[in-house]
Amino acid sequence: MPKGPHPWARRALALLLSMAMIIVIPLAGSASAHGSVVDPASRNYGCWLRWGNDFQNPAMQQQDPMCWQAWQDNTNAMWNWNGLYRNGVGGNHEAVIPNGQLCSAGLTEGGRYRSMDKPGPWTMANLGSTFNIRLNDQARHGADYIRVYITRQGYDALTTPLGWNNLELVRTTPKYAPSDVYMINNISKGSRTGRHVIYTIWQASHMDQSFYFCSDVNFG
């Protein structure tokens, strides 16, 4: 009668299978990457960009106090700067994301990004009368649309949590094919001056996945 595999052969096969699993795991991790508005930088992307290599520097508290409070609250909000999204919103953004929680996507991911909702002197990008938005898509999800809002003149970003009533929709883009970068060009600031918040919604195409970004800007 034919004999089964020798015990050493079975052990060798098990070892090969375990090695194959180890190789697959990093690939699965890379697929979980998403993206963010990188110019003008979203709040958590900007904190990671400025302090990711020096996040324990005590000087951050005076030089960049809003990033300092964010790092103290949850460092993963910065390490996972590309994961500020919600699934299954169905396009009902205003119904799902409560006022005061727009910058954290309604306390998504168990409240990981809650420090993004805190009003205060976030570091601003200086913009002219027209500006562009650059959104990086690490996973090449594509976009059904991207919506760009700007706060209304008179909104006080230093003291008031962001609400839908503070925003004016200034651009809705058509669909984007999957790519590494999506540009929204020649957006007008209108008559706005001073400190404002640009609020960007990226509706990904690969599934019902919505990303929400707050970028702090100054219109000279």
| Average pLDDT for runs of 10 along the chain of length 220 | 49 42 32 83 98 96 98 96 96 98 97 98 98 96 97 98 98 97 98 98 96 97
- Whether residue 119 is contained in a domain is answered as yes
If one counts the domains in the chain, the total is: 1
- Whether residue 78 is contained in a domain is answered as yes
pLDDT at position 220:
87
pLDDT at position 24:
33
Number of Cβ within 10 Å of residue 171's Cβ equals: 17
| CA gap 12, 17 in Å, rounded | 9
Collapse the DSSP code of 56 into the 3-class scheme (helix H, G, I; strand E, B; otherwise coil) and give the result.
coil
- Whether residue 10 is contained in a domain is answered as no
Where does 30-180 show beta strands of DSSP type E? Answer: 35-39, 85-87, 125-127, 130-137, 143-151, 167-172
Rounded to the nearest 5 percent, the helix, strand and coil shares of the chain are 30, 30, 40
- Whether residue 169 is contained in a domain is answered as yes
| CA gap 51, 19 in Å, rounded | 36
- Whether residue 199 is contained in a domain is answered as yes
Give the domain CATH number at 84. 2.70.50.50
Q: Which domain holds residue 142?
A: 34-219
Angle separating helix axes 65-73 and 43-51, nearest 10 degrees: 90
Contacts of 59 (CB under 8 A, 6+ apart): none
- Whether residue 13 is contained in a domain is answered as no
- Whether residue 27 is contained in a domain is answered as no
- Whether residue 14 is contained in a domain is answered as no
